[in-house]
Amino acid sequence: MSPLVRAVGRALFGDYELYAIYAIDTAPGRRPVGEAPGQAMFVPLNGPEQLPAELSEVAAYAGPEAALFGLRVGKNYVAACAFQWGRRYARERGFIPLADGEAKLVQITTAPAARGQGAARTLIAAASSAMAKRGFVRLYARVWRGHQASQKAFVAAGWEQCAWVVGLRVLNIAPRLRLTFGRLRP
């Protein structure tokens, strides 16, 4: 995109959002989701104290109506993620309207040394399976439009892109207008 087009776009719409929305159906009889293979160990986290500093941003999502998961290789955590649902998600995030039995993966972080080795894919798949066992039938995630590594990890874990969400402010005036292209629900 040329600098002129970008400048005109920012003048008209301010900062914009462009997210790919991914989803997976986890109801019984739907596509299987994987478990942690080989030497990796999938761990539901009881609290943020278990995470090293490089993964600690995930800890901010701990609490009621949330689930934290980690992926450990040996004694070291290499990735962590958090899901939220219910009133808490609606109050704190609310980007996607969630129905009963639905949750959103709100944060996933991979340690720099583990990037590019499948840790995110493995964690996404194992955490999806764990959320299904907790009774969640549909899970969502949003990924910034240019974050190809994340997009590939979700697809490799069995998730499918179901929508695009564009957010902008006309003439840079609040409130932000969000447009959804695609279907959030089957």
> What pLDDT sits at residue 48?
58
Residues of the chain with pLDDT under 50: 32, 35-36
What per-residue confidence (pLDDT) applies to 53?
82
Please list the alpha-helical segments (H only) found in the chain.
3-13, 86-92, 119-133, 148-156
What's this model's pTM, rounded to 2 decimal places? 0.83
**pLDDT value at residue 43:** 67
Q: What's the pLDDT at 50?
A: 72
**Measured between alpha carbons, how far is 179 from 185 in angstroms, rounded to an integer?**
15
pLDDT at site 32? 46
State both tokens at 91: 């109050």
Cα dihedral 154, 159, 161, 163, rounded to 10, equals -110
Residue 34's alpha-carbon distances to 45, 118, 130, 143, 179, in angstroms, are 18, 13, 10, 21, 33
pLDDT of residue 181: 75
Predicted confidence at residue 31, as pLDDT, reads: 54
